[in-house]
Structure 1
Amino acid sequence: MPTLTKLYSMREAAQHNKREDCWVVIDGKVYDVTTYLDEHPGGDDVLLSATGKDATEEFEDAGHSDTARKLMEDYCIGEIEKPTINVIPELEIFTKDNPQSSTKFLDSPLLYWVLPATIVCISAVAATVVYSRRK
């Protein structure tokens, strides 16, 4: 029987940002490192500064060993829940799973006549203003 993974929001994980209660998020997984703060070779400040955000980049930049990565498994308490795209139906969010959403405007046929029409109208207004001031 598979183990159920607890899901946390990033907001919830970010609330655990004190020495007495410290969680870090790395690669979508949530780690309760409260009991590890004193043992961390880089010091507790490094872990405390990694709370409240996704610390994957900082973790990777530090060049952790395979042993450190294996040790992390002992502190894993869950995963960050994936954001729901349809929370606000009027707002379409760009994700890796939905890459075409960022190019929909550029693919719109309206773009091919609205932009030139706008330029022509602005030019006509500007020409009228310049011509009327000359008289």
Structure 2
Amino acid sequence: MPTLTKLFNMQEAAEHNTKDDCWVVIDGKVYDVTTYLDEHPGGDDVLLTATGKDATEDFEDAGHSQDARDLMEKYLVGELDPSAATISEPEQEKDDKIRKIKDLPLQYWAIPIAVAGISIVVGVLYLHKR
């Protein structure tokens, strides 16, 4: 196994959080999984939601096989710098929520907006008829 020389802080790793540039942190190691997104058996959303935080617990909870663990080494780009400050948990959660909302496709917004619009029109017509 090659010696890792590149150290990242969590903020640097968290900046790589898009479909075109996706890094995850597992067990203190940083992986660039951008080219693996389409191949991931759980879908790319699983990996995209794991960015910006330590995804070790999520990874372990999924029960990955030894083959999956071996495959990870192909995507290894460095390690977390243990001396660097980490993102505070509340700030990280806020960033995750904002990113998830921004990543929602238009189709998820269309139905609630249509229902609200129809409700307003029906209400106005009902009041106008009175």
Deviations 1:9-44 (A, max 9, x none): 100000000000000000000000000000000000
Conservation of the 8 A alpha-carbon contact between 2:9 and 2:84: no
Q: Are residue 36 (structure 1) and residue 36 (structure 2) matched?
A: yes
Q: Are residue 45 (structure 1) and residue 53 (structure 2) matched?
A: no
3-state DSSP of counterpart to 2:39: coil
Provide structure 1 residue ranges, at least 5 long, that are not aligned to the other structure.
Answer: 86-135
C-alpha displacement at 1:5, in angstroms?
2.1
Structure with bigger RCO (C-alpha 8 Å, 6+ apart): 2
3-state DSSP of counterpart to 1:30: strand
Between Structure 1 and Structure 2, whose CA radius of gyration is higher? Answer: 1
C-alpha displacement at 1:84, in angstroms?
5.4
Provide structure 2 residue ranges, at least 5 long, that are not aligned to the other structure.
Answer: 86-130
Q: CA RMSD in A?
A: 1.5
With normalisation by structure 2, the TM-score equals 0.62
Detail structure 1 runs of 4+ shifted over 4 Å in the superposition: none
In structure 2, distance between residues paired with 1:29 and 1:74? 12
With normalisation by structure 1, the TM-score equals 0.60
65 and 4 in structure 1: CA distance in 2 versus 1, 3 angstrom threshold: closer
Structure (1/2) with the larger helix percentage: 2
Deviations 1:73-124 (A, max 9, x none): 0000000000259xxxxxxxxxxxxxxxxxxxxxxxxxxxxxxxxxxxxxxx
Conservation of the 8 A alpha-carbon contact between 2:4 and 2:79: no
